[in-house]
Structure 1
Amino acid sequence: MGGFRGRAAIAAGIGLAIVSCCSGLRADETSATCAKEDFESVVETASGSLRDLNNQNRPVFQEKLRELKEKRNWTHDDFIVQARPFVKDEKTAVYDKTTDELLSAIASMGQEGAAAAAPDCALLLELRARMKMLVDTQSAKWNYMFEKLDAEIAK
């Protein structure tokens, strides 16, 4: 579950950043002026926000896993095997792949925008849009995992 936590932390931070920095963004805000600091700020804020999102969801999710472990009287070894499908299955693999692709694009766009002599403000808007997709992806993944776990606890 360590790999899940790392990706979730990154995704969580970027997710909240998107919500906080981009929620009021309008299509007509394609200002002709932006600075490399704007790109750096978006990426820095994003990773902090992903961390926050993960910190909000992970403890609750882990508590629910412990609840299921107790309900089923699993040993520690049983728990490691039985809990895996709640954090890793075909659907979460798709979320993870999408997350990895978005993170790669976001990092590349952030570096490109920060390194440009004259930053491309349209690229900044695209960066923010990708970040929103990342937040949506991570939110959907958390919702999916919680729904699966809640359904199992209810049995």
Structure 2
Amino acid sequence: NLKKGGRVLGNGGWLYPSEGTESLGAHHHLAHNANEYLPAQAPYRNVLKTLGETARAKGQSIVLSAEGFCRWKPANFDVLSGLLGFDTYELVYVVRDPLDVFPSFWAEEVKQGRSMGLAERFAGEFADPMKSRLLNPMRDLNPLLARDRAQIHA
């Protein structure tokens, strides 16, 4: 939806870039391959610098979107912001109903060949829901809330 709304976003001062998407629409490539973008010698590092320069020259903010960003270390967002040339950044974290998110997450794991059966995967998470990243959003949010450069919207 964000990709389709690129023109409307642009009129509102937002840039939804193709960089980091690998033609997938959302920024899955960036989210799942931070090592190809963030380190000093990363092959796509300059792509991010150029993207930031373009956005700042147009007075636009950048919107990046992919569920895979939830796996990033909080410091990665600081590095990304720095590469793009922004002093601060805002993260929008969508808190979903656990009974909705779990089957979706599990199906994605299956597509990527990394999961066990649904019942076994389900039992492992629900055995201790407070330790579960899927069932307890504060596991993701608390480290992000501690970042000085970040504003978090949940």
The TM-score with structure 2 as length reference comes to 0.26
Higher relative contact order (CA 8 A, sep 6+): 1
Q: Which has a greater percent of helix? A: 1
The TM-score with structure 1 as length reference comes to 0.26
